[in-house]
Structure 1
Amino acid sequence: MTAALDTRPDVGTSSRWLPVGLALFVVAWGGNQFTPLMVLYRELGGFSTATVDVLLGAYVLGIVPGMLVGGPLSDRFGRKPLMLAAPPLAIAGSLVLAVGGEDVPLLFAGRVLAGLALGVAMAVGSTWIKELSGNGGASRAAMSLTLGFLLGPAAAGVLAQWAPFPELLSYGVHVVVGIPLGLLAVRTAETLVAPSRGRLRDDLRIPVRGHREFWTVVAPVAPWVFTCAGVAYAVLPSLVAPAVPGHAIAFAALMTAVTLVAGVAAQSAARRLGLDDARGGMVAALFAVAGMGVAAWTAATPGIVLAIVSAVVLGIGYGFALVSGLAEVQRLAAPQHLAGLTAVFYALAYVGFIVPAVLAVAALAVSYSVLFGVLGVLALVSLAVVARSRPFRPFRPFRP
């Protein structure tokens, strides 16, 4: 028996998605608040670049299983119980990070917890928002995520740069904000009214075999979502840090903000221009190519202006890749498989957060300029694959 969705008239109306969007926002905040603190751990904790980059990527170990298991489980047990568990997990992750200090294993555990929360929230929350919203669900989910990814590191960066007890307060604010916002979705309607009654083992099989277009149009662009973001606000700030003595943490927060503001603008533009589909993925790949070129220039001649330009270009690539990927998944997937296929998309997207750690190791032998050039070539290959594979669709007019 396959899962069925709630088709009552009141499901899909304008504001019903908002409490879920706020819960998704809280979890995204917790997942990304670590980014500007990488400088703090390097400068005050004495951690190596490779160690900090590994801690950044550690939450992928939570994200991927959270997505791949959470999505299919929500097709069986419903969106609500899975999504309501995500904010408490994110808050637990912040608490572990706050007491972690310079204990790398404890920090690693906190990052994995934050990743697990984010994995469940991205797969299940995005699906729930889509089902509550009807049209525009992909844009609303992407915007909720991006605002959390933006405000979390902005708050953490400001507190870490200028407030006392930066390791505690940076995470403490998330706990204080997250508890009330995470509870808002308790009263939101469940959209899955006839869950799957088959074998649990069958539910956990992600339905990707019958989606050739997913692998040729969505998958080639998905890793660029967080490769673009990771390079912009996890790698470049450390390369430019000598140009901002005494303010490296605040600059890292600024780079995060610039990247994600550009991403929000790109998501809005994609929807208005009718590019929240495979063509948006091609635009994302183009900006990834250009962004890696500017990043290579920045690595060769580190400077504040070049770094910010890199963040803008890469942020636009991030935004187009995220919203177009979500929209294509929602177009391709059958309702009972939407959460599972969304989980696969996000799992591929988060491969990008492993890239900073890979670059840190590779930079021992090759310059960052060369490495960014290699990434630019790979983005060009992705563009070629999507251009060759995408189906023809008439251009849609501007949407206000």
Structure 2
Amino acid sequence: MIKRNKHQQQSADVTSGPQRELTGNLLFLLASFAALGALATNIILPAFPQIAIDLGASIKDLGATLSSFFIAFALGQLVVGPLSDRFGRKPLVLSGLAIFVLGSAVCAMANTLPQLITGRTIQALGVCATSVLSRAIARDLFDGDQLARTLALIMVAMAAAPGFSPLLGGAFNSLLGWRATFGLVAGVAVLLAGYYLIRLGETHAQDHRTAPSITAVLRGYKRLLLDRRFIAPALTVSLVVGTLYAFFSMAPAILMAGFGLSSLDLGLFFAATVFVVFGAGLSSPRLVRRWGQVAVARAGVVIALAGSIGLAVGPENFLCFCLFLTVFLLGMGIVNPLATAIALHPFAANAGAASALLGFLQMGCAAAAITVGTSLSLSAYASLGVISATALSAAFFAFLATK
């Protein structure tokens, strides 16, 4: 029997060189990593009325479970990215999933709103690792058009999760109660950890790792923030994602109180939006081959802006509301993967840090949009003006982006 030396054993699960073939197993894993955070975010939305009753809180107060999640999610990524560049992706993925399971258990056993907020914060600090590292792993393995295609498919999954999760959460709430939803997401995390160990493992080679100090990390983030190649597309996609999550936070009040939808109807509505995002994401690589990444991304953000303005005007009937939302989701589905690929492409050497900062900007914009939209003393429709303003800002940065 041939014995491997120590170096070979240490690098046995490290992919040697960029992997040019995107397999179904790899795509499923990276998409699941990206979608887990979104799944955990929106799965409790249909249960808000019951949670409010059980915990003695108002539905408006439950908005803190979303904003706290996004804030912790955003800040946690800034730590995870550089650590993964130093120690590899594997230990951060596994520890992140373990922390997420712990947070889910705290949520499931919560008897007060502060306890639920604490559990949600722990959840976010764990699941931020899989979200940021799904992009970093993709950058480890792919380059050029293949990277753009991979990120497009990953972003489709990430954008689809908020659509399907309320339907899943509504079903679990009706059958088993809202606490069971946290058991569900914890079980998904455990399964993903096992699948990751079996199918992929480490992708960041030992000789590519760096050991930066805190000062060096901060200096690296500063360079990224000042680099137009990164910051323009990063702010574009972050503001668009922030717009999407702001809409999801306002949707229960608009659709359930305004249009009279039930919790099941709300779940079905969100699920239907997935097909728009899915179609837009799948079409973007074809559009890129003809017109280029930057041009298509700019077109996507303009389409999203048009839809958001329609929503802010305040459609008088449900059909018009759905029409404007479809336009917005179509543009968002196009710009999301393309702006992500444009932002990450020039930074292969520090993909973890670049992905972390991008994730921080996305969740930061989401938290800000949700906080502003829910704190203003406006009607549900008037608060949609926040969405339009955010989308307008995204369009501004889209036209600053370069190839």
- TM-score, normalisation: structure 2: 0.82
- 1:266 maps to which of 274, 280, 283: 280
- In the alignment, structure 1 residue 171 sits paired with structure 2 residue 182: yes
SS of corresponding position for 1:8 = coil
Q: Which segment drifts farther, 41-50 or 106-115? A: 41-50
The residue number in structure 2 matching 1:237 is 252
Q: CA 1:324–1:20 in 2, change beyond 3 Å: closer, same or farther?
A: closer
Residue identity matched to 2:355? T
Q: Which runs of 5+ in 2 are unaligned?
A: 1-12
Q: Which residue of 2 aligns with 1:382?
A: 394
Aligned to 1:99: 109
Are the counterparts in 2 of residues 49 and 360 from structure 1 also a CA contact under 8 Å?
Answer: no
Q: In the aligned structure 1, how far is the partner of 2:132 from the partner of 2:295?
A: 23
Counterpart for residue 114 of structure 1: 123
Q: Deviations over 1:148-170 (max 9, x none)?
A: 4344332112222x31x422222
Q: Give 1:319-334 correspondences, 5 Å limit.
A: 319-333=333-347
Tell me how far apart the structure 1 counterparts of residues 91 and 332 of structure 2 sit (CA, whole Å): 30
What is the rounded CA distance, in whole Å, between the counterparts of 1:353 and 1:257 in structure 2? 23
Which of the residues 62, 65, 68 maps onto 2:75? 65
Letter matched to residue 84 of structure 1: L
Q: Tell me how far 1:110 sits from its aligned partner.
A: 1.7
Aligned identity (percent) is: 18
SS in 2 for 1:170: helix
Deviation at 1:378, TM superposition (A): 4.7
* Cross-structure match for 2:359: 346
Unaligned runs of 5+ in 1: 394-400
- CA drift of 1:71 comes to 0.7
In structure 1, distance between residues paired with 2:345 and 2:212: 26
Q: What is the TM-score with the length of structure 1 in the denominator?
A: 0.83
Matches within 5 A, 1:153-172: 153-160=166-173, 162-163=174-175, 165-172=176-183
Q: Which structure features the higher share of helix residues?
A: 2
1:47 to 52, 57, 71: 57
Residue 63 of structure 1, CA deviation:
0.8
3-state SS of paired residue (1:294): helix
Q: Distance in 2 between matches of 1:65 and 1:145?
A: 19
**Is 2:230 the counterpart of 1:222?**
no
2:60 alignment partner, SS class: helix
User: Does the 8 A contact of 2:77 with 2:128 survive in 1?
Assistant: yes
Give 1:59 deviation, angstroms: 0.7
1:65-88 per-position Cα deviation (integer Å, ceiling 9, x unaligned)? 221110111110011111122332
1:193-232 equivalences in 2 (<5 Å): 193=205, 194-202=207-215, 204-205=217-218, 206-209=220-223, 211-231=227-247
Letter in 2 for 1:93: G
| Equivalent in the alignment of 2:8 | none
CA distance in 1, matches of 2:160, 2:389: 30
Count how many residue pairs are aligned between Structure 1 and Structure 2: 378
RMSD (CA atoms): 3.0
